[in-house]
Amino acid sequence: MWRVQLSAAQVVQRVLDQGRNLDRALEAVQSSTQGWAPAQRAALQDLSFGTIRFHGRLTALLAELAHKPVADPQLQRLLQVALYQIFYGKSAPHAIVDNAVKAARSLNPRVAGLTNAILRNALREREALWAKTDVAETARFNHPEWWVAELRKQYADRAEAILATDNQHPPMTLRVNQRATTTAAYLARLAGESIAAKQIGPTALLLEKPVSVDRLPGFFDGEVSVQDAGAQLAAPLLDVHDGMRVLDACAAPGGKTAHILEMARVQMLALDKDERRLSRVAENLQRLKLSAELKVGDAARPQDWWDGQPFERILADVPCSASGVVRRHPDIKWLRRPEDVSGFAAQQAGILSALWQLLAQGGKLLYATCSVFGQENEQVIVNFLDAHPDAQRLPLTLPDHSQGQLLPNEQHDGFFYALLHKAA
């Protein structure tokens, strides 16, 4: 266990102290774990994600336990990993402490005693420590103060439910490829493999427990993809039909591109400014036996890549704060800053205005984000409509009866959608 604890501390340090992306930090550390058993690699992921998810509480707990701030950042992160195990995990408490002491000794023999004292005090005073740290909102909600305040300002009494959902494990949802099979037929196949699931949308199946894609029947034959139920709303809302010319303007990793192609035989251009991420679109389309034109380009600068032919449908799934998907990417809430939200809003407005020039008269553009912050969502649309008299916002009725803003819950992540029609 101690090697797993130490590696998890390295991941946490790369994210919180160096500002790196959690997935990439984990991938980098995993590259040095050759020969580890699958269970050890799974434990590394759990400890890394869990420690970052509950960073607010763990920071407060360590502050209560240490007589003075822990100067060594490696030791600080190791202690937080062990505290995550003590307060949120299921391992035997004394095994957690013994292994953490061994890990600390490998860093510096002189800090082993301090590690032992801090963690054994945590075991003895667990309930009292929890109560003490519950006073601070950053600890209680495991979000930065500015994030908590912003949600309260926008959502009032619903804010705490959003924060609580953010700290849960995300659901695993499948999208059934209707060109390959039916949702009902695939649900029956899952039952035959003893994988419990239920249908929550026309193509969406929610798994009772996450499983590796290796266990999903027909996955590598293109019968099914992993995609959040909220994200699965984009393609139907865009209202595509056979023969249309369609642009997915920020396409990577390609889930929405593929879903559109599964729904209709369209002339699809999938655009993304990141060539590496665009390769994932190609991989997904190949697995699903679908085809599209892929192009590297900036959606805000169509003059660099557009051929002058208008599109009848455009999906603008724009870059955003990703505040609606933090349970999948818990590093986001700690790495984002308040000014980032206004920065994204300005970028989104630029992309939306640029893409509007490419839309055919009578065409439709679907604006989408995975954010719950109104500055990136409703305000962008209101400002755009004020500046573009040829744009009309079409009504939407989403599963939770909202007009565009989906909040994260047990079935889907947080998303925003606005469907715009261009006057003929």
Active site residue ranges: 370
Query: Using CA atoms, how far apart are residues 280 and 302, in angstroms rounded to an integer?
Result: 22
Query: Using CA atoms, how far apart are residues 175 and 226, in angstroms rounded to an integer?
Result: 6
* Amino acid symbol at 195: I
Q: Which residues pair with 422 in a beta bridge?
A: 391
For 157, other C-beta atoms within 10 Å of its C-beta total 7
Q: Are 316 and 367 in contact (CB under 8 A)?
A: yes
Decide: residue 308, CB within 10 A, 0-12 exposed, 13-18 middle, 19+ buried. Answer: exposed
Query: Using CA atoms, how far apart are residues 145 and 141, in angstroms rounded to an integer?
Result: 9
In the numeric block, the tokens 């501390």 are attached to 9
Query: Using CA atoms, how far apart are residues 325 and 414, in angstroms rounded to an integer?
Result: 6
CA dihedral 317, 322, 327, 330 (to 10 degrees): 140
Angle CA 95–100–101, to nearest 5: 100
Could you tell me which of 166, 313, 143 has the C-alpha nearest to residue 242?
313
In the numeric block, the tokens 């409703």 are attached to 378
Query: Using CA atoms, how far apart are residues 406 and 396, in angstroms rounded to an integer?
Result: 12
In the numeric block, the tokens 């009578």 are attached to 362
Q: DSSP secondary structure string, 5-45?
A: HHHHHHHHHHHHTT---HHHHHHHHHTT-TT--HHHHHHHH
